[in-house]
Amino acid sequence: MEHRFRSRSALIVGLGSLLAIMAVAGLSALRVLQDVRGKDDTIRRQFLSRNHVLNDIRSQVYLSGTLVRDYLLEPESNRAETYRTSLEDIRRQMYEALDSYGRAVDQDEIQQYTALRNELDRYWETLTPVFAWSSAERGQRGYPFLRDEVFPRRSNMLAMADRIAEINEQQLNAGNAQVAALLAGFQSRLVVTLIAALGLGLGLAAFSARRIAKLEARENARFDEVASARAQLKDLSAKLVHAQETERRGLSRELHDEVGQSLSAVLVELRNLSAGLGVRPVEDLRAQAEETKALVESTVRVVRNMALLLRPSMLDDLGLAPALRWQAREVSKRTGMDVTVTTELASDDFPDEYKTCIYRVVQEALHNCARHAHASKVRVRLQQSGDHFALSIQDDGIGFNPEQTKGLGLLGIQERVTGLGGRCRVHSTPGRGTVLAVELPCPAEKTLADPVRA
Amino acid sequence: MSAIRILLADDHVVMRRGLRFLLESQKDFSVIGEASDGREAVQQAEALNPDVAVLDIAMPHLSGLEAAQRIAAQSPRIGIVMLSMHSDEGYVLRALKAGARSYLLKDSAEDDLIEAIKAVSHGKTYFGSEISNMLVEDYIREIRARGLEDTFETLTSREREILQLVAEGNSNKEIANQLNVSPYTIETHRRNLQEKLNLHTVADLILYAVRKRIIS
């Protein structure tokens, strides 16, 4: 019972931890995947938006260069004014782009960013006096200014933007590496979890398999036991039916052959006597009457023996102990065995089925002693101690192996005793005599306590 | 001498008729009542106050043993003869304890009943030859099988004499009168012999005496 409970709780704990491990592994996998995806997204978005801004700045630098050139080389004042307005627009746009970039700039690129911004400031500072030039001045100083001031600064800015883009790309790579590391960590954790779950699952499976095998074996053993018990019972009941039939046949034959025949003979004799009255000599009649009397006497004996065999009247008239002593004397007389009976009973006041059971057990045991054991001395002891009867029948006969031989008599004893909730054991070794020990629960207390019977 | 007044109790009419026929052939016997069961026997004994009650051991309602016990308690003067089918000493002892002074087998009643009735009417004990022989045989077999010491040998001749007189149904006073000694002397002897034989009731003493063929 306890074992079953233990293994059941072990199974529950094992399965529970297996499920817990799987749930934890699954949840952490989901979380890690979500993290990875989020991080990946952010990195890509940041990279793209920065790249976009940088490209804008870069194209505006080019555009501004072109516009400055057009402005400087344009002789028409009105046209030049249009270029200048466009340049102002571009300048504003460039600063807007740079500001938006500056909001997301991080530690690694702040230097480059500031440099770019300064360069841009200088660029526009360099350009500012140009807008005040007249068209003649533009025509005269325009080209050298472009060549010496604008183009080098423009190249500088572009180089800086390229460096920033490079850093940006480096960051993208670093982010990707971070994601990869996250994934690798997750992978190794997943492997560990998988191995743990697999190990635990294998352990559980092995434990369950062994447990099931054990249960199956026990079930099979029980089934075999039941089957053999059933077979034994069937065999026993067949034997009992046979024994009952044999007994009845014996009684019937005895009734018919002994009692019936004798009574018929008596009838004939009486008829003859009555016919002979006054006809035959008195001596003759007396002799015949004596013969008839002897016949009746022997018939009376036969009937008495049969009645005693069926149910000894002393069991009812005198009680158990005197009936047992009578039986012992009868067996002694019949077989020559010395049978002693010792009884220690508190009273003779217990139910009839107990008296009958004990009486029949002793009867059967004595029968075995005489017929099978060839004993010369038999001791019958009956004790009432506390809450049970202890009955023992010990002989000095040839003994037998109780494991191998079990006669009908012994089976009958067992049936009677277990029928009343008792136990019965046989101790015997070939050549060493036999002890039959019977223990019966005592009903006396219950009988006394029963108010209906009191 | 007036006739002995007898009550007959047996549940079989044929048996009663046979016994009555047997008893009334004796001129100093008179069958004054019949009963067909134990209860009726007790009532009749009280109503008729017979000298002797002949009881069958197996009767309906109240067994012969029970009836004997009640009659003996009611009027110890009535001599009781128990008729039985059983020749076992368990029954004999039980009948003696119930108060019967004679125990006969039904088979042999016609041979022994008349003697038995005469004996119990004088307060004496009586057992038919068949019962006596059976008891003696059982006793001898037991002694031989067990190799028991015969305690009878340890009794003095006076004790043996007193054992016989007790077993025959005499009271201490009667014995004292017969032997011309005081009842106290008898009481002392009796106690001693009971101690030696380890027998403590009159019934046991009677059974023992029969077994030893001291009485029959």
Residue B33 has pLDDT above 50, yes or no: yes
Contact flag B146-A314 (C-beta cutoff 8 Å): no
At A30-66, the pLDDT tens digits run 888 888 888 888 888 888 887 888 888 888 888 888 8
Taking CA–CA distances from A321, the nearest residue in chain B reads B90
**Pairs of residues, one from chain A and one from chain B, whose beta carbons lie less than 8 Å apart:** 37
Cβ separation A329–B89 shorter than 8 A: yes
Q: Is the pLDDT of residue A451 over 70?
A: no
DSSP string, B83-104: EES---HHHHHHHHHHT-SEEE
Is the pLDDT score of B152 beyond 60? yes
Q: What is the pLDDT of residue A448?
A: 44
Query: How would residue B46 be classed by pLDDT, with cut points 50, 70 and 90?
Result: very high
Output the DSSP codes for B110-156: HHHHHHHHHHHHTT--EE-HHHHHHHHHHHHHHHHHHT---GGGGS-
pLDDT of res. B42? 95
B108 part of contact set with chain A, CB < 8 Å: no
SS3 category, B202: helix
For the residues A335-347, what does the mean pLDDT come to?
87
Ranked by mean pLDDT, the top range of A15-29, A82-96, A392-406, B91-105 is: B91-105
Q: Which residue of A has its CA nearest to B57?
A: A317
Average pLDDT over residues A409-414: 81
- Taking each helix axis as running N to C, give the angle between helix A282-310 and helix A261-276, from 0 to 180 degrees, rounded to the nearest 10: 160
- Residue B1 has what pLDDT? 57
With beta carbons under 8 A apart, name residues in chain B contacting A326.
88, 90
Concatenated DSSP letters of A367-387: HHIIIII--SEEEEEEEEETT
Q: How far B49 CA lies from chain A's nearest CA (Å)?
A: 27
Distance in angstroms (rounded) separating the CA atoms of residues B101 and B170: 11
Topology given in CATH for the domain delimited by B149-210:
Arc Repressor Mutant, subunit A (1.10.10)
Inter-residue long-range contacts of A186-195, CB under 8 Å, 24+ positions, other chains counted: A186/A28, A186/A29, A186/A32, A186/A36, A189/A28, A190/A25, A190/A29, A193/A21, A193/A24, A193/A25, A194/A25
Nearest to A215 by CA among A439, A421, A11: A11
Of A304, A313, A329, the CB nearest to B138: A329
* Residue % of chain A over a pLDDT of 90: 10
B80 forms beta bridges with B53
pLDDT of residue A235: 82
Under an 8 A CB cutoff, do A322 and B63 touch?
Answer: no
Whether chain A has a CB inside 8 Å of the CB on B77: the answer is: no
Q: pLDDT for B6-28, tens place per residue?
A: 999 999 888 899 899 999 988 89
Q: Is the pLDDT of residue A292 over 80?
A: yes
**CATH number of the domain located at residue range(s) B4-133 in this protein:** 3.40.50.2300
Find the chain A residues whose C-beta atoms sit closer than 8 A to any C-beta of B. Answer: 297, 300, 304, 313-314, 317-318, 322-323, 325-326, 329, 332-333, 338, 340
- Burial of A60 from C-beta contacts in 10 A (0-12 / 13-18 / 19+): buried
Q: Is B57 within 8 Å of chain A by CB?
A: yes
pLDDT of residue A307: 84
Compute the distance between CA of residue A340 and CA of residue A343 in angstroms, rounded to an integer: 10
Probe site for chain A from B59, B66, B86 (most A CB atoms < 10 A): B86
pLDDT given for residue B146 in this prediction:
67
For residues A54 and A72, give the distance between their C-alpha atoms in angstroms, rounded to a whole number.
27
Question: So what's the pLDDT on residue A452?
Answer: 40
> If you measure CA to CA, which chain A residue comes closest to B147?
A338
Supply the mean pLDDT for chain A.
83
Residue in chain A closest to B65 (alpha carbons) equals A317
Model confidence pLDDT, tens digit, residues B108-134: 777 789 999 999 999 888 988 888 888
Please give, rounded to a whole number of angstroms, the shortest distance from the CA of A438 to a CA of chain B.
25
B89 part of contact set with chain A, CB < 8 Å? yes
Test B141 with A318 for CB contact under 8 angstroms: no
pLDDT for the residue numbered B81: 95
Contact B90 A326 (CB under 8 A): yes
The reply to whether residue B91 touches residue A323, judged by beta carbons under 8 angstroms, is no
Instruction: Report pLDDT for A449.
Output: 42
Residues A214-230 have pLDDT tens digits of 999 999 999 999 998 88
- Looking at per-residue pLDDT, the higher value among A106 and B47 belongs to B47
A154-188 burial, b if ≥16 CB within 10 A, otherwise e? bebbeebbeebbebbeebbeebeeebeebeeebee
Q: Under an 8 A CB cutoff, do A314 and B145 touch?
A: no
- Which of A372, A10, A420, A44 minimizes the C-alpha distance to A204? A10
pLDDT at residue A64, as a whole number: 82
pTM exceeds cut of 0.90? no
Per-residue pLDDT band at A4 (split at 50, 70, 90): low
Specify the pLDDT at position B29.
93
Nearest CB to A297; choose among B107, B138, B146? B107
Q: What is the pLDDT of residue A2?
A: 55
At A444, the pLDDT band (50, 70, 90 cuts) reads: low
User: In whole angstroms, what is the distance from residue A352 CA to residue A317 CA?
Assistant: 12
How large is the average pLDDT for residues A337-349? 86
Residues paired with residue A377 on neighbouring β-strands, in sequence order:
A338
The 10s digit of each residue's pLDDT in A157-193 is 788 778 778 877 888 888 888 888 888 888 888 888 8
Q: Kindly determine whether residue A314 and residue B91, on different chains, have CB atoms separated by under 8 Å.
A: yes
Q: Say what percent of chain A tops pLDDT 70.
A: 95
A446 pLDDT exceeds 50? Answer: no
Q: Read off the pLDDT of residues A358-380 as tens digits, 9 standing for 90 and up.
A: 999 999 899 888 888 888 889 99
Interface test with B, best of A297, A302, A315, A317 (most B CBs within 10 A): A317
β-bridge pairing A423-428 and A377-385? unpaired
What Rg do the C-alpha atoms of chain A give, in angstroms? 62
- Picking from B90, B91, B141, the nearest residue to A332 by CB comes out as B141
* Residue B25 CA to its chain's centroid (Å): 23
Nearest CA in chain A to B146: A338
Residues of chain B with CATH 3.40.50.2300: 4-133
Q: Where in chain B is the domain with CATH 1.10.10.10?
A: 149-210
Q: Are A337 and A372 within 8 A, CB to CB?
A: no
Q: Which amino acid is at B201?
A: T
CB contact under 8 A, B88 and A326: yes
Contact A340 B146 (CB under 8 A): yes
Residue B145 contacts A, CB cutoff 8 Å: yes
* Cβ distance of B85 and A304 shorter than 8 Å: yes
On whether any CB of chain A is under 8 Å from the CB of B124, the answer is: no
Rounded distance between C-alpha atoms, residue A330 and residue A311, angstroms: 14
Q: Is B14 on the interface with A (CB under 8 A)?
A: no
